[in-house]
Amino acid sequence: MLRAAAVFALVWSIFRAVRQSITLDEADTYLWFGGGQAAKFIWYPYPNNHVLNSLLIWLSTHVFGVSVLTVRIPALLGAALYIFVAYSLCRVLIDRFVLQFAALICLVYNPFILDFFAAARGYTLANAFLILALAVPLWHTRTGRRSVAASAALASATVGLSFVSNFAFAFVDGAALLAIMVWAIRQRGPDSVLRVIGCGTLPVLAVTFGVCGYTITHYTREHLWYGARSLSEMTQSLVDACLYQLPDWLGYSGVVRSAGRYLLLALAISGVCRMSLGSLYPEFRQNMRAIMAGSVVGILTLTVGAHYLAFQITKLPLPVSRTAIFFLPLCTLFITLVAASPAKPRLLRLLGHVMTVVLLILGTHYLLSLRYTYFKEYAQAAEMREVYRVIERLNRRYGIEEFTVGGSYASSLEFYRVALKAARLPRFLAAPEPRLPPGKVYVIHGSYYRAFLDEHKLVVLYRGKVSQVVVAVPPGGPVPPLPVMP
């Protein structure tokens, strides 16, 4: 059953990768960095450019051709690696099946993490390499097949791959590397400290500067504007992402979501209490799971501290939502490790059972939140594939070659035009906003441009069910004011 849950997560992600519309950020990644004939644009310094992801997109689209699926192949590869590592950790670290299952569901089926299994961004690759780096010491301890220096080198290279997948992981990757170095130095055996330090630092430097040295050295401060302005805002963005979004048919989704916040709080308090109380007992604090949990706490503490200092000193925004996504697997891993650590005192056993039950409830919430129509961060692009089909029909039936497209929709439509090789359609460019020029067909945000729609008496031919995109035409124009099906 555990293996089936892991396999289904990957199958579901592949289905979403084929089914869901391309989003603004995904389209921009391909059009700007991963789709050009000249590979030099892959290393252009820009926040949207997750370098390793862009490089892999360039390779996959040049080998297999351009499609929604091929653009998302790198994210799916990251998903496969993440699921494999999460499954392996659950099997190795946890003895009880119920906790194994709950931990795997919470690690893999968290709706925010699951979104980026399919979205063509670098977040899943970065998360996968991060937890893989943390798994290397465990793998070394259990197998003992390589020297500590070799394992440190492997973990170091993996941390480098996490960073080049997404620069937002810089601080957490640094904290993870420090934790791995502490472990390697303490467990070095016959290896010298200097050798271990060299093996732990040279690979990450080689990977980082070998893959994206130009990008790093040419990055400018003006690009670092997206983020939170307080720790509470950062935390709230992650809580909202975890509890997003129960289906309408369930009913009382708002009440359940509010209860979910208390469950997350209870889980955090239980984990801290069990870790603190357990540290009083030798059989708990000397257990491999508790030691690893302590390492994860150290990584989380260093990461939060580094981000907060950078915010206070340099005004670098705190990570928020997707740029803080690395907190989710780390926090889940911490809770799992603490709950799985053996303890004889009755209170500690009771806390462990409570944490298991809460993980099961949250896992149920995550499973009920499964969806295949849109990503939480990019709901405004939910119907871009349908919108493109509407535009194609208008072009074929009425010869329309002028489309006034809102800025958040232009890149997605341009991607479909390029991928489908629709030379008959003009290049889709974002119209100047907020005042739109006169046009024959408008693709705009229905709510934002409601006054514009009313003022010009535009007739809506198509309206998105999830997003608020509309395709509208003026009365008396070349297009009859009749609904158009995608």
Domain shared by 340 and 434, yes or no: no
pLDDT (tens digit, 9 = 90+) per residue, 114-158? Answer: 999 999 999 999 999 999 999 999 998 888 777 899 999 999 999
How high is the pLDDT of residue 251?
A: 56
In a domain, 479, yes or no: no
How high is the pLDDT of residue 143?
A: 83
pLDDT of residue 258 exceeding 80, the answer is no
pLDDT (tens digit, 9 = 90+) per residue, 287-310? Answer: 888 899 999 999 999 999 999 999
Domain shared by 398 and 290, yes or no: no
Q: Which two tokens stand for residue 255?
A: 């009440």
Higher pLDDT, 194 or 252: 194
pLDDT of residue 483 exceeding 60, the answer is yes
How high is the pLDDT of residue 255?
A: 63
How high is the pLDDT of residue 173?
A: 97
Contacts of 368 (CB under 8 A, 6+ apart): 246, 247, 250
Query: Domain range holding 436?
Result: 383-473
pLDDT of residue 417 exceeding 60, the answer is yes
Under a CB-based contact definition with an 8 Å cutoff, are residues 187 and 144 in contact?
Answer: no
pLDDT (tens digit, 9 = 90+) per residue, 200-256? Answer: 999 999 999 999 999 999 998 888 889 999 999 999 999 999 998 877 656 555 666
pLDDT (tens digit, 9 = 90+) per residue, 447-482? Answer: 999 999 999 999 999 999 889 999 999 998 889 888
Question: What is the pLDDT of the chain when averaged over all its residues?
Answer: 92
Domain count, the chain: 2
Cβ-based neighbour number of residue 191 at 10 Å: 17
- Residue where a domain stops, chosen among 333, 355, 377: 377
In a domain, 484, yes or no: no
Domain shared by 184 and 324, yes or no: yes
pLDDT of residue 186 exceeding 80, the answer is yes
In a domain, 482, yes or no: no
Domain shared by 168 and 190, yes or no: yes
- ∠407-321-294 over CA atoms, to 5°? 160
Domain shared by 283 and 403, yes or no: no
Domain shared by 315 and 450, yes or no: no
Contacts of 414 (CB under 8 A, 6+ apart): 27, 31, 427, 428, 429
74: nearest Cα among 131, 33, 24: 33
Alpha-helix residue ranges (DSSP H) falling in 109-229 = 111-118, 123-143, 148-165, 170-186, 193-217
pLDDT of residue 192 exceeding 70, the answer is yes
